[in-house]
Amino acid sequence: MNQSDSILTQSPQALTQQLADWGIPSWRTKQIQEWIFHHRAVSFEACANLPKTLREKLSSHYKFYSAPLLCVTGHEGETRKFLWKLCDGNLIESVLIPAPAANTGHTSSNSEENRNTLCISTQVGCACGCKFCASGRSGFIRNLAPEEIIDQLLGAERWNPHQNKRLIHNLVIMGMGEPLANYENLMKALSIMNAEWGANIGARKITISTSGLAPKIRRLAAEEAQYRLSISLHAATDAVRSLIMPINRKYPLKELLDACEAYQQTKGRMISFEYILIDRLNDTPSQCQGLIRIAHRFHAHINLIPYNPVEGCDFKRPPQETIRKFTSELLAGGISATLRQEKGGNIDAACGQLRLRKMKDLSEK
């Protein structure tokens, strides 16, 4: 018996086996998993139609993980941020990006409209240390366990004000942390969020964003599931990229882009690139031309994001005119690109910002 096992991460086979050991019929497995993923119960006590003895057995054997929601920012129809408190007191964020999804740049077709997207975290902090990022600036604390990743989705659905319909249809793994640096836990969590018996979100509705861990991109290519991949590029040359993203010194552009090519060839799937626009750093005409060359090589879509100011960072968002010029040059170069104007600039929309502010508030109390 292992009391640290989470009920959220039990496969139907594993749970059925455990039930069989207790002499309980296998049809209870479906019932239990429906309580978790469909009714989003927060404890075994809440699973009303399970016999008391079974609930007690389950409670003594499995953990029923559910992080309390500390606060939600934003209003109906806007970007909303959730701040969760983990068992060990650490704080993590998830972001609800409302439909129409076309505005967010996360999805590409009109049929995706009226579909909300949840952006989830994979680590507490991040070791990559990108200079523009609140999560990177506060350092790395720990990886999230698979159940802590899944619970962000279940928690958002629990909060859903319209309980009669599902809130989340798309997932982007773009919250705090570098997803591919927590590879095993992420893959386990995604397989459960993707499974029909689990949260049942299609693999094509799940996008993993990475700062560019080249070997892990190759490993991802060998996975069976068809998740989407998005690369946080943010510069078109090694000189500029290494200035703002230390990871580029470990995996320079050539290594990263070769891994992307291998991924695209194996998977037969398109990759997209994220590109934050930072004033007089990566918004120059020569960076734009470099970006056009890279985008052509992959027939890739570019998501442009004006830099979101982070406390203690000297970077600036480029003037509107520069943003406009950069965007139209990309389009003129034959590149498919969307400019994602963050609606949530004043609610700490960039990843890790709400957590930083809250931790400051808490430490001042």
Nearer to ligand SF4, 35 or 251 (CB): 251
**Closest by Cα among 246, 90, 89, 113 to 170:** 113
Residue selected from 83, 193, 276, 300 as contacting ligand SAH according to rule CB under 6 A: 276
Residue selected from 29, 33, 104, 135 as contacting ligand SF4 according to rule CB under 6 A: 135
Three-class SS of residue 240? Answer: helix
Phi, psi torsion values for 212, nearest 5 degrees: 120, 45
Structure tokens at 132: 């523009």
Residue with tokens 């979101």: 308
Q: What's the CA dihedral at 66, 172, 188, 58 to 10 degrees?
A: 20
Q: Catalytic site residue 351?
A: yes
The one catalytic residue among 47, 56, 93, 184: 93
Residue 74 as a binder of ligand SF4 (CB under 6 A): the answer is no
Residue selected from 116, 264, 282, 308 as contacting ligand SAH according to rule CB under 6 A: 308
The dihedral of CA 167, 169, 175, 177: what is its sign? positive
Hey, which residues does 69 pair with through a beta bridge? 84
Percent composition of the chain: helix, strand, coil (DSSP 3-state, to 5): 45, 15, 40
Nearer to ligand SAH, 112 or 178 (CB): 178
Residue 213 as a binder of ligand SF4 (CB under 6 A): the answer is no
Hey, which residues does 173 pair with through a beta bridge? 208
Residue type, 61: H
Q: Count of residues binding ligand SAH (CB under 6 A)?
A: 17
Residue selected from 19, 67, 83, 133 as contacting ligand SF4 according to rule CB under 6 A: 133
Q: What's the CA dihedral at 133, 303, 344, 183 to 10 degrees?
A: -50
Residue selected from 93, 148, 151, 178 as contacting ligand SF4 according to rule CB under 6 A: 178
Nearer to ligand SAH, 133 or 145 (CB): 133
Q: Catalytic site residue 196?
A: no
The one catalytic residue among 119, 128, 130, 351: 351
**Which alpha helices (H) appear in 245-352, and where do they start and end?**
247-250, 253-267, 285-298, 320-332
Residue 217 as a binder of ligand SF4 (CB under 6 A): the answer is no
Residue 351 as a binder of ligand SAH (CB under 6 A): the answer is yes
**Site residues for ligand SAH, window 144-203 (CB under 6 A)?**
174, 178-179
Residue 264 as a binder of ligand SF4 (CB under 6 A): the answer is no
Residue 232 as a binder of ligand SAH (CB under 6 A): the answer is yes
Sheet with strand 301-306: strands edge to edge: 69-73, 80-85, 91-97, 116-119, 168-173, 206-210, 228-232, 271-277, 301-306, 337-339
Nearer to ligand SF4, 130 or 259 (CB): 130
Residue 170 as a binder of ligand SF4 (CB under 6 A): the answer is no
Binding site for ligand SAH (CB under 6 A): 132-133, 174, 178-179, 209-211, 232, 274, 276, 305, 307-308, 310, 350-351
Binding site for ligand SF4 (CB under 6 A): 126, 128-130, 133, 135-136, 176-178, 211, 232, 351
Give me the active site residues, please: 93, 351
